[in-house]
């Protein structure tokens, strides 16, 4: 007995806006039937008392606490820079654009 019919595949194809030929409908009906039978077999496994899980091992947040720390001193950073101008790093011009 098949779990999905050719008509159901045609309905799914219509919902997905797919134009399938008769041969494709038969082909996909067979493939979907195999998939549904496999899922049914998995459902037969004795899993009573086993809670559903998304991961086989517990997942924990491994990130450190987000603690604000003081940043670098602006004067020290600019002292180490080759060139500065108006509280910014001065770098060589790389584009031939006019200044705005």
Q: What pLDDT score does 26 carry?
A: 92
Q: What pLDDT score does 99 carry?
A: 63
Q: Print pLDDT tens along the chain (100 aa).
A: 457 889 999 999 999 999 999 999 999 999 999 999 988 888 788 777 888 888 888 888 888 888 999 999 989 999 999 999 998 999 988 887 776 5
- The answer to whether residue 18 sits within a structural domain is yes
Residues whose CB is less than 8 angstroms from the CB of residue 70 and which lie 6 or more positions away in sequence, other chains included: none
Q: What pLDDT score does 39 carry?
A: 86
- The answer to whether residue 90 sits within a structural domain is no
- The answer to whether residue 23 sits within a structural domain is yes
Find out whether 27 and 18 touch, Cβ atoms under 8 Å: no
Q: Total structural domains in the chain?
A: 1
- The answer to whether residue 37 sits within a structural domain is yes
- The answer to whether residue 56 sits within a structural domain is no
Q: What pLDDT score does 68 carry?
A: 92
Residue whose structure tokens are 């924990």: 60
Q: Which domain holds residue 25?
A: 6-43
Q: What whole-number distance in Å separates Cα of residue 47 and Cα of residue 30?
A: 28
């Amino acid at each position: 007995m098949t779990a999905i019919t050719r008509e159901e595949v045609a309905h799914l194809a219509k919902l997905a806006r797919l134009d399938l030929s008769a041969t494709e409908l038969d082909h996909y009906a067979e493939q979907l039937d195999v998939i549904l039978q496999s899922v049914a077999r998995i459902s037969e496994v004795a899993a009573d008392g086993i809670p559903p899980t998304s991961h086989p091992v517990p997942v924990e947040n491994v990130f450190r606490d987000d603690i604000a720390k003081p940043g670098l001193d602006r004067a020290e950073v600019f002292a180490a820079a080759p060139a500065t101008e108006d509280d910014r790093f001065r770098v060589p011009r790389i584009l031939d654009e006019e200044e705005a």
